[in-house]
Amino acid sequence: MKKSLLFLSMFFVQEILFAQGGVTMADEMRRSGKIYVVVAVLLVIFLGIIIYLVRLDRKLSRLEKNTNS
Amino acid sequence: MFMNKWWWKILCIVLLVYAIAGGFLLPVPRKPVVEESIRNLYFHVCMWFAMMILFTASVVQAIKYLRTNSLKYDILSRQYAVMGIVFGVLGYATGMVWASFTWADPNNPATASFAAIARDPKLIGAAIALLIYFAYLVLRDSIQDMDKKARISAVYNIFAFAFLFPSIWIIPRLVDSLHPGGNGSGNPALNFNDVDPRMRLVFYPAVIGWTLLGVWIVSLKVRMQNLKEKSLIHE
């Protein structure tokens, strides 16, 4: 009973959000500045992977220099 | 050597940071149903574009091998194909997530939604194309002799590449499709009418960035393989 009431109320929340020209977007996230948290998290993950790649690249360059000299 | 240069790797990082940050902060058109998830254009669609470019690089190396019989092209050809497959699988996975938020109809039961999505011609075409490239890897592993392996798999690579066009690009555009571009309405990503100019600002650099990331990983794998083989010879 509680679950279906919660589910039904979601439809009414959508009606309120349609005030901004009919398409619900992440405007609330932008207004509260939380969008920067989203971007920061993604950049941290991405830069972490890039740092791993750079270290691997440097290690390979060092090994290549050793076997060639 | 191109593989050891750092400038295009820095370019890759800059372009991808721009794609991720700009992808979420810059404005996008407000479309019903897709809403903010249209930003997935910079990720899901870029995966498939990167896959196409990497498969093109793979077939170019295969043809170079057939012309010169130099095994280094064969190694490059295989690694580009592997990265192409990786991006293709990622494109499929990101597409699945996107579809569950946009194509899945909350009014239908889950199985009916899934059936409607699974019938999309582009999904089927892409799955067949990826399976053909998986078979390329199996083919390579089944042949012992290095030169035979290289020659047969190079020829197969050309066929596999040629198959990409009817299965992913042509047929899904001729028939009814959930993807944009169905029923002969043209190429949605490169058509100037279909991609909003604001999105093009991030989309084109993102394609280059993701492709360069694939090329970077290929270069690392090839260098590692060359080092292993050199150390085996010197032992």
Residues 6+ apart with CB under 8 A from B118: B124
Shortest CA distance from B230: residue in chain A? A67
What's residue A4's pLDDT?
A: 63
CA angle in degrees (0–180, nearest 5) for B107-B176-B37: 55
Span B187-213, pLDDT tens digits: 666 655 566 788 888 999 999 999 999
Q: Provide the strand spans (E) within chain A.
A: none
- Min distance A23 CA to chain B CA atoms (Å): 5
- CA B158 to CA B56: how far, in whole Å? 10
Task: Name the 3-class secondary structure at B143.
Answer: coil
What's residue B4's pLDDT?
A: 83
Q: SS3 string of B10-75?
A: HHHHHHHHHHHHHHHHCCCCCCCCCHHHHHHHHCHHHHHHHHHHHHHHHHHHHHHHHHHCCHHHHH
Q: How confident is the model at residue B19 (pLDDT cuts 50, 70, 90)?
A: very high
What's residue A2's pLDDT?
A: 65
In B14-53, the residues whose Cβ lies within 8 Å of chain A are 16-17, 20-21, 24-25, 30-32, 35-36
What's residue A6's pLDDT?
A: 58
- Min distance A5 CA to chain B CA atoms (Å): 16
- Break chain A down into helix, strand, coil percent, rounded to 5: 80, 0, 20
Span B133-154, pLDDT tens digits: 999 999 999 999 999 999 999 9
CB–CB contact B17 A63 (8 Å)? no
Contact B126, B88 (CB under 8 A): yes
pTM of structure: 0.85
Q: How confident is the model at residue B66 (pLDDT cuts 50, 70, 90)?
A: very high
CB pairs under 8 A between A and B: 51
In this prediction, the answer to ipTM > 0.85 reads: no
- CA B77 to CA B136: how far, in whole Å? 11
Q: Is A16's pLDDT higher than 60?
A: no
Q: How confident is the model at residue A22 (pLDDT cuts 50, 70, 90)?
A: low
What's residue B116's pLDDT?
A: 83
Q: How confident is the model at residue B43 (pLDDT cuts 50, 70, 90)?
A: very high
- The residue-averaged pLDDT of B117-126 equals 90
Q: SS3 string of B80-104?
A: HHHHHHHHHHHHHHHHHHHHHHHCC
